[in-house]
Amino acid sequence: MKFGTKVIHAGVQPDPSTGAIMTPIFQTSTYVQQSPGKNQGFEYSRTHNPTRAVLEKNLAALENGSVGLSFASGMAAIDAILKLLKPGDEVISTNDLYGGTYRIFTKIFANYGIRFHFVNMQDMAEVRSHLTKNTKLIWAETPTNPMMNIVDIEALAAISKEHGVLLGVDNTFATPFLQNPLDKGADLVMHSVTKYLAGHSDVIMGAIVVKDAELAEKLAFIQNSCGAVPGPQDCFLVLRGIKTLHLRMERHSQNGKTIAAYLKNHPKVEKVYWPGFEDHPNHAIAKKQMRDFGGMISFTLKDNRLSDAIQVLENFKVFVLAESLGGVESLCGHPATMTHASIPREEREKVGLSDSLIRLSVGIEDAEDLKNDLARALESIQ
């Protein structure tokens, strides 16, 4: 199937008992068994639920994987991945990444004897320099959050295979519509389903997709044992959201291009971070591994004043100041005080995350309205 067909049909069948075209919400905790151990494939909803099972098959198909696993949040999915490790193991991670990921690395799993190295993954020599016999996982975001850096997944995969290390890629910003890390050699791909996959700012969920059966079995064991699973109502909403993923991502990308170009030429904007620009440091890699460049944009203001950033954020009318991203509505955020506040200031500044940096999740509204909203908000700076 082509992608636009997959999002609607992959893993989905009409309900055999009623013929319902939409997957029912199986709002049940347990299932009747004909005899001890003899059931219809479901025994307890922490382990398996029919609505969740359909979603997981759909997610696996979208990422060209063999097994999909859904979790109660994106952080629950990352937590499950880290539980593959043991004390003494080491992780090499991008140095620009979501604040919640940084927090779970440094404040939770570092306490259990796992060591984390945060490196510039645009430089493969730097990745190699941190490899040791204890390295068990390479963790990448691409595009990164919020600096929109691009990491070469194939180059990372070559390193991971050479050293027998797992490669995990957070594909939240790109979605399976724009890139498929498993096809580039990654071992597992993770999503904050909350964002573009669900797409309507009404669900919290995470997911992991893998190809390897043994790795899938280990993660499924963790999923069931630890129990951080989503409910059937949320699975239903995500299945519904995914059906328009391709259409939404096309519009997000179109609007993203328009807004990025507008900001780049604005006299009050210092720099725009968007991988679609030819002068983006890794534009050639983005062009090679992505089908388009998406709707996530970050930008800084002239003079880099926190007060100016707050002034802009307070004067938006269409862009909504809120955590998260990937909804149909345009969102704006201030990473230094919101999504990345858990990262120490000196670490933020090392990667260019300044006090005036504003992150935009460009929605699917009319692009002219979005440009006018930006013009009004930027004009408020004195």
Catalytic positions are 46, 98, 170, 195
Q: How far apart are CA 67 and CA 346, in angstroms?
A: 39
- The strand pairing partners of 140, in sequence order, are 169
Q: How far apart are CA 271 and CA 79, in angstroms?
A: 34
- The strand pairing partners of 169, in sequence order, are 140, 189
DSSP alpha helices (H): ranges in 333-366? 345-350
Handedness of CA 324, 224, 57, 26 (dihedral sign): negative
CB 309 within 8 A of CB 335: no
Q: How far apart are CA 312 and CA 378, in angstroms?
A: 6
Question: How many beta carbons lie within 10 A of that of residue 155, not counting itself?
Answer: 16
Look at the block and give the residue holding tokens 């969102």. Answer: 331
Buried b (16+ CB within 10 A) or exposed e, 109-132: beeeebbbbbbbbbebeebeeebe
Dihedral (Cα; 353, 143, 102, 187), 10-degree rounding: -160
